[in-house]
């Protein structure tokens, strides 16, 4: 079963302000989409709203065209950052408890995933490492065979090998079942190879979206003399401009077909693209917050 997640002008206001504002995005079926952004950008709020755990102040979220109205859709699996597990229970007890609460739980599939994660049924949850608890929590979500999986920082407390294995598990699930995954992460290097698309969330709204390969192929780093004018480069194409000594480096979202003499173009990697956009947004926010000269 394939499923599409759509977010339409979503806004969520708390006492401290807007966590989401005019947030719009579409998560394509049978894909793994990385949700990235700085702390406080609204990633956890967006995932919780999509899971039906919180109500939006404005806008809406739909799962395969069905509005999410504050209730968990049976087709959706959600794993929060704190990965709620009963620390005194054994792995076998967590598995049995989850199976009892979900009539469509695939016990055979969950046991296979537990074996792949090298977890013992007899171990108590509290004795597991942080990475092992993450993998157990993920097994309990995937055992429900959801069509849409929402994961809040699932790679945060995993070592590099465990991160690789979790990513391989998710990729296999998508390939085998057509499952759709939206996963928040700060691990830019890892998600480059395992995710199909990227959503960059800043100040509660999406500022960059698209297939991972397309975004990387589209951006370029242009390098040339600092003394040169940039009149030939449309401001709308400039993501970030940095000058060091006699050299200027410009990250662009679209490179011109022909460069002036003395200028070269090279590919930009995903980490450079995301960090440059975050830096630029941070600078703009600081400039907008600075009172104009002479202002009262």
Residues with Cβ within 8 Å of 182's Cβ and at least 6 positions away in sequence, in order, are 5, 27, 33, 35, 47, 50, 148, 149, 150, 151, 199
Q: Is 96 exposed, middle or buried (0-12, 13-18, 19+ CB in 10 A)?
A: middle
pLDDT at 126 over 70: yes
pLDDT at 52: 93
Q: Which residue has the higher pLDDT, 110 or 70?
A: 110
pLDDT at 294 over 60: no
Residues with Cβ within 8 Å of 282's Cβ and at least 6 positions away in sequence, in order, are none
CA–CA distance, 104 with 186 (Å, rounded to integer): 33
pLDDT at 84 over 90: no
pLDDT at 197 over 80: yes
pLDDT at 3: 86
* Partners of 199 in the β-ladder: 35, 209
Residue 49 near residue 58 (C-beta atoms within 8 A): no
What average pLDDT does the segment 17-45 reach?
Answer: 94
pLDDT at 69 over 90: no
Q: 5-214 has which fold?
A: Rossmann fold (3.40.50)
Maximum average pLDDT range among 64-68, 111-115, 156-160, 289-293: 111-115
pLDDT at 86 over 90: yes
Give me the residue spans of the domains in the chain: 5-214, 218-289
- What tens digit of pLDDT does each residue of 218-276 get? 999 999 999 888 999 999 999 999 998 889 999 999 999 999 999 999 999 999 999 99
pLDDT at 184: 95
pLDDT at 72: 80
Min mean pLDDT across 15-29, 87-101, 160-174, 272-286 is at 272-286
- What tens digit of pLDDT does each residue of 36-57 get? 999 999 999 999 999 999 999 9
CA–CA distance, 139 with 158 (Å, rounded to integer): 15
pLDDT at 190: 80
Give the burial string for 222-259 (b: 16+ CB within 10 Å, else e).
bebeeeeeeeebeeebbbbbeeeeeebbbbbbebeeeb
pLDDT at 156: 83
pLDDT at 296: 40
pTM (2 d.p.): 0.90
Q: What angle (nearest 5°) sits at the alpha carbon of residue 48, between those of residues 78 and 114?
A: 15
pLDDT at 66 over 50: yes
Q: What is the DSSP letter of 122?
A: T
Helices (H) and strands (E) in the chain — how many of each? 8, 14
- Enter the tokens of residue 177: 């079942």
- Enter the tokens of residue 236: 């709308």
What average pLDDT does the segment 276-283 reach?
Answer: 86
With cut-offs at 50, 70 and 90, classify the pLDDT of residue 158. confident
- Enter the tokens of residue 81: 């950052």
CA–CA distance, 148 with 177 (Å, rounded to integer): 11
Residue 195 near residue 13 (C-beta atoms within 8 A): no
């Amino acid at each position: 079963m394939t499923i599409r997640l759509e977010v339409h002008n979503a806004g969520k206001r708390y006492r401290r302000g807007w966590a989401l504002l005019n947030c719009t995005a579409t998560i394509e079926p049978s894909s793994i989409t990385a949700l990235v952004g700085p702390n406080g950008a609204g990633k956890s709020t967006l995932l919780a709203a999509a899971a039906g755990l919180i109500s939006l102040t404005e806008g809406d979220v739909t799962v395969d065209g069905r509005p999410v109205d504050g209730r968990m859709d049976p087709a959706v699996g959600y794993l929060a950052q704190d990965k709620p597990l009963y620390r005194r229970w054994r792995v076998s007890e967590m598995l049995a408890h989850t199976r009892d609460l979900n009539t469509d739980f695939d016990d055979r599939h969950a046991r296979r995933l537990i074996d792949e994660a090298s977890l013992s049924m007899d171990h108590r949850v509290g004795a597991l490492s942080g990475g092992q608890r993450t993998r157990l929590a993920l097994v309990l979500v995937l055992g429900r065979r959801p069509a849409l999986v929402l994961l809040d920082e699932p790679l945060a407390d995993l070592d590099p090998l465990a991160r690789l294995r979790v990513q391989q598990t998710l990729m296999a699930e998508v390939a085998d079942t057509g499952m759709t995954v939206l996963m928040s992460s700060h691990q830019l290097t890892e998600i480059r190879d395992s995710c199909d698309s990227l959503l960059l969330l800043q100040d509660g709204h999406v500022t960059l979206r698209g297939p991972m390969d397309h975004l990387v192929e589209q951006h370029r780093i242009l390098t040339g003399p600092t003394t040169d004018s940039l009149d030939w480069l449309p401001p709308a194409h400039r993501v970030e401009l940095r000058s060091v000594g006699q050299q200027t480096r410009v990250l662009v979202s679209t490179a011109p077909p022909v460069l002036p003499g003395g200028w070269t173009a090279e590919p930009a990697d995903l980490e450079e693209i995301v960090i440059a956009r975050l830096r630029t947004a941070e600078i703009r926010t600081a400039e907008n917050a600075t009172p104009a000269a002479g202002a009262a």
